[in-house]
Amino acid sequence: MSNEKQLDSGRRGLLVATAAAGSVVGLATAGALVSTFQPSERAKAAGAPVEVDISTLAPGEMRTVEWRGKPVWLLKRTPEMVASLKQTDGKVADADSKRNPDEFTPEYARNEWRSRKPELLVAVGICTHLGCSPSSKFTPGPQPSLPDDWAGGFLCPCHGSTFDLAGRVFKNKPAPDNLQVPRYMFLSDTKLVIGKDEKGEA
């Protein structure tokens, strides 16, 4: 114990090098373990586009299809429903879908009705707040949890966000964005594909 004050710089150097090498190995292992949390190849492959036949969809009727595990709504709006979008223009937070358009609204849906054809709404039925699926409230007029001048739309059961019939979120609600419109295109008058458009897959 007499030489504890003397520092062997060679050994100190080796000590530092060993500790550094050890840390690199440790971090690399931790990195590999953390990476296992990412979506697997199988999960990624499951996100293929979906084809839907809408020939039997009646006006005022909504159908839900699954795309990437999420509900996608296809709502055939009646003329009254389309007209209601004029009334809600002033009450929604982002009437022209200007907020985060790349993420939520493809360029062909940046209009009042947020769709390619005014009568057909295609939207991901997942609230942009915390991911619940809003329920349909198509009947206009006063009813529980909704304002008295309700013109029809959607109500998220989780935190009370409301959306109009174009999936536009009303002002001062928890949800920050309008419902997402997925990339889609018509293959014929009665057939469309979700998750894919002229620009390629979403």
Partner 1 sequence: MAAFKETKFPANAPAAEKALGWVDDRFPLTKLWNDQWGKYYAPKNFNFWYIFGSLAMLVLVLQIVTGIFLTMHYKPDATLAFGSVEYIMREVPWGWLVRYMHSTGASAFFIIVYLHMTRGLLYGSYRKPRELIWLFGFAIFLCLMAEAFFGYLLPWGQMSYWGAQVIVNLFGAIPFIGPDLSLWIRGDYVVSDATLNRFFAFHVIAIPLVLLGLVAAHLIALHEVGSSNPDGIEVKENLGADGHPVDSIPSHPYYTVHDLFGVSVFLVIFSAVVFFAPEMGGFFLEYNNFLPGDSLKTPLHIAPTWYFTAFYSVLRATTADFMWVLMFGVAAYVVFIWLKSRLSTTIKAIIAVIALLAIIGMLPSVLDAKFWGVVFFGGSVVILAFLPWLDHSKVKSVRYRPSWHKYVYALFFLSFLTLGYLGTLPPTETRTLVSQVCTLFYFSFFLLMPWWSAMGTFKPVPARVVFHAH
Give the list of residues 6+ apart from residue 146 with CB closer than 8 angstroms, or none: 137, 155, 162
CB 113 within 8 A of CB 85: yes
Partners of residue 75 on adjacent β-strands: 62, 121
Cα 87 from Cα 156, distance rounded (Å): 21
Closer residue to partner 1, CB minimum distance, 113 or 162: 162
Binding string to partner 1 for residues 89 to 118, with x set by CB under 8 A, is what?
Answer: ------------------------------
Closer residue to partner 1, CB minimum distance, 87 or 145: 145
Tell me if residue 129 is catalytic. no
Q: Is 25 helix (H, G, I), strand (E, B) or coil?
A: helix
Cα 74 from Cα 125, distance rounded (Å): 10
Using alpha carbons only, give the angle 160, 161, 162 rounded to the nearest 5 degrees.
110
- Min CB(152)–partner 1 separation in Å: 18
- Report DSSP state, residue 110: -
Closer residue to partner 1, CB minimum distance, 78 or 100: 100
Stretch that binds partner 1, among 52-60, 105-113, 152-160, 188-196 (CB under 8 A): 152-160
- Using rule CB under 8 A, residue 139 touches partner 1: no
CB 146 within 8 A of CB 155: yes
Closer residue to partner 1, CB minimum distance, 79 or 141: 141
Answer for which of 135, 143, 187, 190 binds partner 1 (CB under 8 A) is 135
Binding string to partner 1 for residues 32 to 71, with x set by CB under 8 A, is what?
Answer: -----xxxx--x---x----------------x-x-xxxx
Q: Is 11 helix (H, G, I), strand (E, B) or coil?
A: helix
Q: Which residues bind partner 1 (CB under 8 A)?
A: 37-40, 43, 47, 64, 66, 68-71, 125, 129-135, 145, 156-160, 171-176
